[in-house]
Amino acid sequence: MSDEAVQDFSDEQTLIRHLRVGDETAFTALVTEYHAMMVRIARLYVADERVAEEVVQETWVAVLKGLDRFEGRSSLKTWIFTILANRARTRARREGRYVSLDDLMNGDDAAEPTIAPDRFSPTDGDWHQEPDDWSALPEDRMLSKETLAVIQRTIETLPPNQREVIRLRDLEGWSAEEVCNVLNISDTNQRVLLHRARAKVRRALEVYLQPE
């Protein structure tokens, strides 16, 4: 009897071993975990969805062909996304549209305050209208589908670079360094984007959770 139970690929060494011997379930697990995110990241660099998908497809081919040479000096995830970012940049350059995301920051709203100035007293900069105490709200309301849907919708409407930074950091749990590397942005800009993104999500939640 073969073991038909779902193999746990959370251990990277196990995953790599299964990939190298051509285990399709291992590959499917990897695709399920990363593919959609890869397309979105590629999309930050290249002109349209179709090109982004081509870049991701090329990346998967490169990953498979490089698998035997992969030495595990970085994590598999970092390695895959480095290949992706390099390919996406190369493709964008070839099409004459490479703009670094750091440069895009100039057109961003980074100079604006994250909270409307009228929330503070003009004389001493103290709260004029204090934030609500969310920890006093019922936890099941905070964790409800509706509340999460507000966050989801808000994230969708963010500028693309803010959107991907908050997703990678707070949803995927990537480190700041990993995000800087894959998006090719400075540490400072990564923090600015995260700051803007979180502030907008907070604001949307504040409106949603406001007592009647």
Task: Answer for the pair 170, 88: CB distance below 8 angstroms, yes or no.
Answer: no
DSSP alpha helix (H) spans, the chain: 12-20, 24-45, 49-66, 76-94, 101-104, 139-142, 145-156, 160-166, 176-183, 187-209
Q: Of residues 17, 142, 157, 177, which one binds other proteins by CB under 8 A? A: 142
Nearest to 90 by CA among 64, 37, 54: 54
Which residue type sits at 141? R
Considering only 71, 140, 146, 212, the residue that binds other proteins (CB under 8 A) is 71
Give the C-alpha separation, 54 to 56, whole Å.
5
Half-sphere exposure of 15 (CA within 13 A, CB side): 19
Task: Give yes or no for residue 211 binding other proteins (CB under 8 A).
Answer: no
In the complex, least distance from residue 45 CB atom to other proteins, rounded to whole angstroms: 16
Based on the shown chain and the rule CB under 8 A, indicate whether residue 44 belongs to the binding site for other proteins.
no
**Piece of 5-13, 43-51, 94-102, 190-198 that binds other proteins (CB under 8 A):** 190-198
Q: Tell me, what DSSP letter sits at residue 148?
A: H
Is 207 one of the binding residues for other proteins (CB under 8 A)?
A: no
Considering the complex, state which of residue 35 and residue 77 has its C-beta at the smaller distance from other proteins: 35
User: Token pair of 49, please?
Assistant: 């969805």
75 binds other proteins (CB under 8 A): no
Q: Considering the rule CB under 8 A, would residue 36 count as an interface residue with other proteins?
A: yes
| Close Cβ partners of 118 (under 8 Å, ≥ 6 residues apart) | 128
Instruction: Please tell me the distance from the alpha carbon of residue 97 to that of residue 52, in angstroms, as a whole number.
Output: 13
- Among the candidate windows 8-16, 52-60, 92-100, 178-186, which touches other proteins by CB under 8 A? 52-60
Beta bridge partners of 120: 127
Q: Which two tokens stand for residue 106?
A: 């100039």
Pattern of binders to other proteins over 8-27, x per CB under 8 A? --------------x-x--x
**Interaction residues for other proteins, span 99-118 (CB under 8 A):** 113-115, 117
Instruction: Give the residues lining the site for other proteins (CB under 8 A).
Output: 22, 24, 27-28, 31-32, 35-37, 53, 57, 60-62, 64-66, 68-71, 73-74, 79, 82-83, 86, 113-115, 117, 120, 124-127, 130-135, 142-143, 147-148, 151-152, 155, 166-167, 170-173, 176, 187, 191, 194-195, 198-199, 201-202, 205-206
